[in-house]
Structure 1
Amino acid sequence: MTVPRVAAAVVAYGANLGDRRATVLAAVADLASAEGVEVTAVSDAIETVALRPQGEDPTAPAYLNGVVLLRTTLPPDDLLALLHRIEADHGRVRTEHWGDRTLDLDLVDYDGERRDDPALTLPHPRAAERAFVLRPWHQVDPDAVLPGRGRVADLLTALEATS
């Protein structure tokens, strides 16, 4: 019998429509109850301004953002499919790139794996640019490293110094 690989994963969450807190809590519960997934830490939620391709949009509903740390036996593609199912179960409709949403779940890191294909890029290509990912990730794992980019604490310090 083959023992399944257990991988550490980082999932960023965001929600800016509906009852954001209830949606996020329900999504974390969905992750925790999924076969092959163990939630090991959940950051505090932080409220952030909506981000659009052209920059921040203070006229849009604000987001609740945070990070969930997992241990999983699911391969990365299966974990991504699970995240998309949970988003859909909570009313996520993909109509506008970077548009408002009831729930967004991004696979930020999967056991340090580096991958670049149309379905999944690892680590998440914009994680190092997003304080709303780095700050909660640092909160739950002060020693975290974003593969290929460096320590999350250092990335966060550099990002905050430029804003």
Structure 2
Amino acid sequence: MPETMTATLGLGGNVGDPVITMGAALRALQARSDCTVKDVSRLYRTPPWGNVDQDWFVNACALIETQLQPDDLLAVCLGIELDMKRERTLRWGPRTIDIDVLTYGDLEQRSAVLELPHPRMTERGFVLMPLADIAPDLVVQGRSVRDWLAQADTSGIEPVSAARDWWTT
């Protein structure tokens, strides 16, 4: 049996109903025999980042256990994005869903398709706030998520609700 690894994912979207789309994506992962969703953050309403001339986003993070290798996990996530009608037309632009592999165990890798840990996650409050809900003590680049969050810009980011089972319905 393949080894099971713990990975974290960042999810977000601002086109259509991102809460429904992200919930469907997490349920699609959960339905696989090689992935188990262990924990999911609250939902956060976040201002656009990069290209700021667009609607606000809804963001969340998930902690999963997987038997997939990192590149295969990314491929599954990209396939789910396509199933959810994700179109890649503008960098940091509007999207129905975005699923980023943030961490995969304590693996550090830089390849043509996937860099782990995610290269900009420690700079982004919209990643760190939901990630701190599920993994505040996770060490990324020598510091805990909690410590990274303490120095991140979280201006305008607010929880949408306190519930963390939003994705199950």
TM-score by length of 1: 0.90
TM-fit CA distance, 1:149: 4.0
1:88 corresponding residue in structure 2: 82
Contact 1:8 1:111 in 2 (8 A): yes
CA contact (8 A) 1:30 1:86 kept: yes
Residue 158 in structure 1 maps to residue 156 in structure 2: no
CA displacement, residues 10-40 of structure 1 (integer Å, 9 cap, x when unaligned): 0000010001111111111111112200000
Q: 1:20 to 1:143 in 2, by over 3 A?
A: same
Q: Please, which of 28, 31, 40 is the counterpart of residue 30 of structure 1? A: 28
Greater relative contact order structure (CA < 8 Å, 6+ sep): 2
- Superposition deviation, residue 142 in structure 1: 2.5
Shift of the alpha carbon at 1:162? 9.9
Which 4+ runs in 1 deviate beyond 6 A?
none
Partner of 2:39: 41
CA RMSD of aligned residues (A): 1.7
Q: Distance between the aligned counterparts of 1:116 and 1:11, measured in 2?
A: 17
Size of the aligned set, in residue pairs, is 156
Which amino acid in the other structure matches residue 32 of structure 2?
A
Q: Cα 1:159–1:31, aligned 2, differ >3 Å: closer, same or farther?
A: same
One-letter amino acid of the counterpart of residue 73, structure 2: L
Identity rate, percent = 35
CA gap of 1:99–1:149, structure 2 versus 1, over 3 A, is: farther
Conserved in 2, the CA contact under 8 Å of 1:46 and 1:66?
yes
The runs of 5 or more residues in structure 2 that have no matched partner are 157-169
Q: Distance in 1 between matches of 2:44 and 2:64?
A: 19
Give 3-state SS (helix, strand or coil) of 2:90's partner: coil
TM-score normalised by L of structure 2? 0.87
